[in-house]
Amino acid sequence: MTAVTSQFEMTGLKLRSRVAPLNQDSSDPTTGCDMFEANCTFPANHCPLMKGCTETLDGDECYWCKNLVGTCSYMSATDQCSNTSAGLSTLEIQLRFSRRRWSHVFRTFVPSVVIVGCSWMSFWLHPRDITARVQLCVTAILALITMAGNRKEHGITVVRAEDVWMCGGVILVILALFESVAVNSILRGSVFNLSFRRTRRGRVGPIPGPSTAWAEEEETSSPETVANRIDFFSRILFPISFTVFVAGFLLYYLA
């Protein structure tokens, strides 16, 4: 087993031997007698550098790596059990494992958060710099897809928490790409923007005397102003949306 890279590490072992009458439930703790019990605590990562070692080449260090059971406490009550031959003897083995989380944190979650955050830099560029904004978002998407594709599947077909995390990051970066294209289209004067301006113009009636109301309305609804407003709100909404996604992810999978 030392040659296998596992997502879990053993942290404890419990052995329990019981004898219960044949006409009673052997799993009921109130019936029967405990003959033997052992609790062992395994230190986490006691030999991380000896994976796949051989005792002939690495000596005693490899031997202790493969046979270390940690600190154990034993309890024997054989002398307190009477008429054990007429009962049903059972042996219960419990293994305690803990997930190797820090490896996923530094190899998957932290880099993906940095990549998603870098895609938000496009909101701070001018809407006319469409080439730089699109290249930034596309690079972030390709980086996330590459990270998701480099994972070893080991024949697993179910949807895991890591898959949901990567999918959420890709969706946010794609939305940032769509936002960059939308503000550039508005700035260049799309059909939708022109029809919007014509509708607003038709509602403004002639006002007797000198007035600047029409000019002010045209200035506030100019394409550049609308594009800058969308970028401004995107700088706030995208981080908030990603924070809500992270909070929901942690509450669902870690609660």
Pairwise CA distance, residues 237 & 142, whole Å: 23
- Do 111 and 196 fall into the same domain? yes
Q: Are residues 83 and 169 in the same domain?
A: no
Q: What is the CATH number of the domain that holds 125?
A: 1.20.58.390
Q: Which pLDDT belongs to residue 101? A: 76
Between 82 and 117, the more confident residue is 117
Say what the pLDDT of residue 200 is: 53
Query: Residue 26 falls within a domain, yes or no?
Result: yes
**pLDDT tens profile 22-33:** 665 555 555 667
Region 109-133: what's the mean pLDDT? 92
Tell me the backbone φ, ψ of residue 63, rounded to 5 degrees. -65, -45
Of 38, 69, 99, the domain-final residue: 99
Is the pLDDT at 120 greater than 60? The verdict is: yes
148 and 231 together in one domain: yes
Same domain, 108 and 231: yes
- Could you give the CA distance from residue 171 to residue 183 in angstroms, rounded to a whole number? 19
The residue out of 43, 73, 99 marking a domain boundary is: 99
Q: With a cut of 80, say whether residue 231 has pLDDT above it.
A: yes
Q: Is 118 exposed, middle or buried (0-12, 13-18, 19+ CB in 10 A)?
A: middle
Q: Which residue has the higher pLDDT, 91 or 31?
A: 91
> 195 and 179 in one domain?
yes
Same domain, 148 and 62: no
Residue 214, pLDDT score? 43
72: β partners: 40
Does 191 score more than 50 pLDDT? no
Shared domain for 140 and 88, answered yes or no, is no
pLDDT tens for 142-171 read: 999 988 877 655 566 778 888 899 999 999
- pLDDT surpassing 80 at residue 83: no
pLDDT band at 244 (very low <50, low <70, confident <90, very high): very high
Residue range 5-16, pLDDT digits in tens = 567 777 788 888
Report how far apart, in Å, the C-alpha atoms of 135 and of each of 118, 121, 229 are.
12, 11, 22
Domain total in the chain: 2
When pLDDT is averaged across residues 226-243 and rounded to a whole number, the result is: 94
Res. 64: pLDDT tops 50:
yes
Residues 27 and 115 in one domain: no
Average pLDDT over residues 228-243: 94
Q: What is the separation of C-alpha 184 from the centre of its chain, rounded to a whole number of angstroms?
A: 33
Parent domain of 80:
8-99
Q: Does residue 2 sit within a domain? A: no
CA gap 92, 85 in Å, rounded: 19
1, part of any domain: no
CA angle 51, 54, 55 (to 5 degrees): 125
Question: To the nearest whole number, what is the mean pLDDT of the chain?
Answer: 76
Q: Per-residue DSSP letters for 89-138?
A: EEEEEEEEEEE-HHHHIIIIIHHHHHHHHHHGGGGGS-TT-HHHHHHHHH
> Would you say residue 20 has pLDDT above 90?
no
Residues in the chain: 255
Q: Sign (positive/negative) of CA torsion 114, 116, 117, 120?
A: positive
The answer to whether residue 207 scores a pLDDT higher than 60 is no
DSSP-based three-state secondary structure for 15: strand
Three-class SS state of 64: helix
pLDDT band at 193 (very low <50, low <70, confident <90, very high): very low
- pLDDT at res. 32: 66
Secondary structure of 152-184 as H, E, C letters: CCCCCCCCCHHHHHHHHHHHHHHHHHHHHHHHH
Give the residue-averaged pLDDT of 71-95.
Answer: 72
Among 47, 76, 99, identify where a domain stops: 99
Asked if 95 and 113 sit in the same domain, the reply is no
Domain-located, residue 190: yes
Residues 95 and 106 in one domain: no
Task: Provide the edge-to-edge strand list for the sheet that holds 33-41.
Answer: 71-76, 33-41, 8-21, 87-99
Query: Does residue 213 surpass a pLDDT of 80?
Result: no
Confidence check: pLDDT of 92 > 60: yes
